[in-house]
Amino acid sequence: MKLSVIICCYNERATIEEIISKTQAVDLGQNWNREIIVVDNYSTDGTRDILQQIDHPEIRTFFHERNLGKGTSIRTGIANMTGDYFFIQDADSEYDPFEQRKFTDKALETNAPAIFGSRILGGEIKSQYWRTLMGNRFLTWMHNFLFGHHITDVATASKMVRADVAHSLHLTGTSFDLDFELPNKIALAGHDIIEIPINYDPRTYAEGKKIGGKDAIEAVLIMLRNRLGLSPVFKTEGEAAA
């Protein structure tokens, strides 16, 4: 089995080397190989300079020539993956790469189409902001109501999806909306999502957290659009380029 770890980054100079190093250090378990796909979304803080110095056979790096959004970066990773599963690893310090072993163990056990890491199942719910916690609970309820799932944390960044499933979903999201389009379309394709508990160390906006209220509104709209089977009103530059 092979895992394609997709690391999308935008202005993550302070953490990108550490995240890549930790990802390489993870023991995924017996019979697992790994590739690391790093997608830089036109960083301007020196992140690109760091990535350009990396020369390792396990790592492939892609550079967007303009900022196309996180969703487009994930789709770039999916389009170039060679693994049996892909795993989304955030480039900041909120999600611990060493948790990837939990996912590979569960994948070997179940061959599940999708495995999500839940920040709720662990028992200790952490959040720097009350509004983000309540927002996630509402969006999770809405996803379950519209798509018939019974998950606890739809907005988690730690998502592992089988390659054949990923390529069949025809994803179009360009920003944080893809975090919701992915579970929506997994449900519409008739697949279940297995959840496993993960640890989470939330950061503040001052520390670089990027998701906000506008992204929550987009999440609601993408759920309604997917549920009603509507096409995007227009194609963004990111969608056209993907």
Q: How many whole angstroms separate alpha carbon 228 and alpha carbon 59?
A: 39
Q: How many whole angstroms separate alpha carbon 14 and alpha carbon 17?
A: 8
Q: Using one digit for the tens of pLDDT, what is the confidence trace for 159-182? A: 999 999 999 999 999 998 999 999
Structure tokens at 211: 């998701």
Which CATH fold would you assign to the domain 2-241?
A: Spore Coat Polysaccharide Biosynthesis Protein SpsA; Chain A (3.90.550)
pTM of the predicted protein model: 0.88
CA angle, corner 158, sides to 90 and 172, nearest 5? 80
- Smallest CA-to-CA distance from 177 within 224, 221, 242, 111 is with 221
Q: Using one digit for the tens of pLDDT, what is the confidence trace for 81-137? A: 999 999 999 998 899 999 999 999 999 999 999 999 999 997 555 554 557 778 899
